[in-house]
Chain A
Amino acid sequence: MRTLLNRFRFHLAVFFAVIGPGFITAVVDNDSGGIFTYSAAGARFGYLPLWTLLPITVVLIITQEMCSRMGAVTGKGLSDLIREEFGLRVTFLMMALLVLANLTNVMAEFAGIASSLELFHISRYISVPLAAAAVWVLVVKGNYQSVEKIFLFACVFYITYVISGFLVKPDWKEAVIYSVKPVLLLEPGYIYMLIGMVGTTIAPWMQFYLQAAVVEKGVTAKEYAESRIEVIVGCMMTSVIAFFIIVACAGAIYSVRPRDIQDAAEAALGLRPFGEYAFLLFSAGLFNASIFAACILPLSTAYSVCEGLGFEAGVNRRLREAPIFYWLYTLLIVIGAGVILLPGFPLVQMILLSQVLNGVLLPFVLIFMILLINKSELMGEWRNSRWFNLVSWATVVIMIGLTLALVGISVRGMH
């Protein structure tokens, strides 16, 4: 009994030692873009889209698990491995795409910061520069351990969506039924929405960030069992939050009058008739999600690029030691935040462009991942089993199909 307790305690300690990367990556998946997608789905179609969350969770777990496993076993980041196994030119192309895609994502995050704080009557000319400066200082002046703690703390704030979901008093019975009952409407709007929801589930940056964070954390193959649990719990939490976002919008907007919303801030306003708190919490959640992603995206981009191309990187290094890392990081923030302040900047087109770029990049990332994780000289006994390969290839093929469909829709929307 005593040894059992001890063993449990040991595993619990290991769990807390590895906690971080999986949680953060999964939770940041619900960034301002994600929140908008879910809000729009709930506002327009009510509880109907809820069933997609289950397959989304599975897809998320399968892809995230592979990255964290590769990180733990090889001790190398994804861009490192791509460079070592597929050469410089491929890496360079991927990194160039990643920088562009993430830059447009950063713009979307700062737009989220601006619009969420405008709900609190704070001008974007104040909020955006301040947020950009805060993000920059946090990472440049901090070290990885403290930054990660702040990130984990930010994860807790996603609870605001759960609370606002309850405050709206949605129809729980419907919510439960449609969570497990797939409904397919042959209506273009509905199909676009489904594709959008699943297509935005996995972004290329997540794979790079997760694997790099697992390596930075020093998770070893031995601790991997705990790390896997962390990834799975993180992915589930993400879907729970998405569930509450959809439910809140279904209860507040759809049940009153189903309609299309233009951005996540509009969804927050839609919650207002159901109480000031529901509105405040939803808006605060949007701000938290946006600024959180605005911290992680530039950091992860600079990290992946420098790793892949062989420049020194890392927040624990000084500016003089890793100039390219810091410059790239700074530029992403400055440009990403700067364009939000330009009047007449075509932001909607940029966000659609980011979906296109993500969609172009993702198939390569996923295929490289599966190829890498099956290399026995890299992964040894940790490579995919045949069964798992079947599942992951199927996932990858479906994801590529949906992403390309999303690219098609986005390209049409850009005209």
Chain B
Amino acid sequence: MTRPDSVFDSGAAQGYFLLLLACGAGLLFSIPAGAHVNDLMESSWKPSPLVFHLTYITLLGLLGTFRGIAGARWEGPVWGRLAHLALHVLFGQLIVLPYLFFSRALLPGRGPVLPLLAVYTTVAAFAFALIAFRLERWGQSRRVHTFMHQYALLALILVVPWALGMLSGVPDAVGLLSPIGAGLRIIEPGSAAELAVAFAFVLIVLLIQILAIRRSTRRNHGV
């Protein structure tokens, strides 16, 4: 057990630098390459302006997972550790905030949805942090190596519902279970009902994790 990381400690700082660079690369890719429409027509590669937003959602989820694994190894009361985890996720959000503001120029007329996206992504990243935290604690208690489990789960949650949602015959709401699908729907923007489903799902997941952590903490104290 170690004392909780500061956001400026080596391990954490590396994660933030990676987040900053990868999201920055996504941002550069999202900017149309060409001064005139002809340049856009000639260019065979036309990345969507949403490349940045997809990178941002994915990497913030990854950061949450990364910090959640670290948080399980911290010492101190559980709720203090969770507060630290929330702080780490918020710090990650803070450092990509300039990119998010800059990306307004890439989504004409859709600027007002970006605060909503920021809130959703922060909650989703925190939910990923708690899932990783719980899995890591579970591994520790059973002396099972769970390092890849958290990342595999992250990939599954990000990709599978989104891919399923794109299949014909599958209800669109399935895609909203993935932060990528939900994020795209927030940007589009989707209907109020769709947004409510997206937020409800991520909040339910978050609540389940908090309740499960509380229950396991009580059980451990009881023991």
A, B from the same assembly: no
Question: Which residues of A are at the interface with B, using a C-beta cutoff of 8 A?
Answer: none
Question: Which residues of B are at the interface with A, using a C-beta cutoff of 8 A?
Answer: none
